[in-house]
Amino acid sequence: MNNQDCIFCKIVAGDIPCFKIYETENILSFLDIGPVNKGHALVIPKGHYKNLWDIPADLGKELMTAAQVAGDAIVKATGADGLNLLMNNNDAAGQLVFHAHFHLIPRFKDDGLKLWDQG
Ligand code: 5GP
Ligand code: ZN
């Protein structure tokens, strides 16, 4: 399943470059183009599912496993002290790309990043 107008489907297809962190048959993890902190990455299913509720249960488990593996790699590579796992679902929640994705956001002691202040 692939959506011609979707930027993440284009990344999966290799039509838009990305910095890959981790990949399986069904999942891709890559650095976010607009990082909110050092090492900010995304984990996406290769198939086009628009949000959390669109993802089949088995694929959801694979996605979580990939988040664990990619998150561990990013924490080790950046020397982070922690990690936020975040998902925006629908525009009211701040979703901009309607291809389901987890954000992996490394956190550093006293980095001052405010993720929950949405005004
Ligand atoms: P959302 O607000 O939908 O949860 O977040 C979408 C994320 O996708 C944003 O953090 C944005 O920086 C990232 N993004 C958008 N376009 C691209 C792209 O072409 N390449 C990469 N690597 N990230 C992208
Ligand atoms: Zn897509």
pLDDT score of 24 more than 60? yes
Query: What does the mean pLDDT of the chain come to?
Result: 96
State the pLDDT at residue 119. 54
Query: Sheet holding 41-45: strands in order across?
Result: 20-23, 27-31, 41-45, 102-107, 82-86
108 CA distance to ligand 2 middle (Å): 31
Ligand 1 atom with least separation from CA of 30 = 22
1 CA distance to ligand 2 middle (Å): 8
Instruction: Please state the pTM of the whole predicted model.
Output: 0.96
Ligand nearest the Cα of residue 44 is: 2
In this structure, are residues 99 and 49 in contact, taking their beta carbons and an 8 Å threshold?
Answer: yes
Pick the residue whose CA is nearest to atom 12 on ligand 1.
34
pLDDT score of 53 more than 70? yes
- Where does the pLDDT of residue 48 fall: very low under 50, low under 70, confident under 90, or very high at 90 and above? very high
Architecture of domain 7-107 in this structure: 2-Layer Sandwich (3.30)
ipTM comes to 0.99
Mean pLDDT, to the nearest integer, of 99-107? 98
Instruction: Give the span between the Cα atoms of 106 and 98, in whole angstroms.
Output: 23
- Where does the pLDDT of residue 117 fall: very low under 50, low under 70, confident under 90, or very high at 90 and above? low
Q: Which of 40, 48, 101, 103 is catalytic?
A: 101
Decide if 99 is catalytic: no
Pick the residue whose CA is nearest to atom 24 on ligand 1.
33
Q: How far lies 16's CA from each of 19, 26, 34, 73, in Å? A: 10, 18, 15, 23
Mean pLDDT, to the nearest integer, of 86-112? 97
In this structure, the residues whose C-beta lies within 6 A of any atom of ligand 1 are 7, 16, 18, 30-34, 88, 94-97
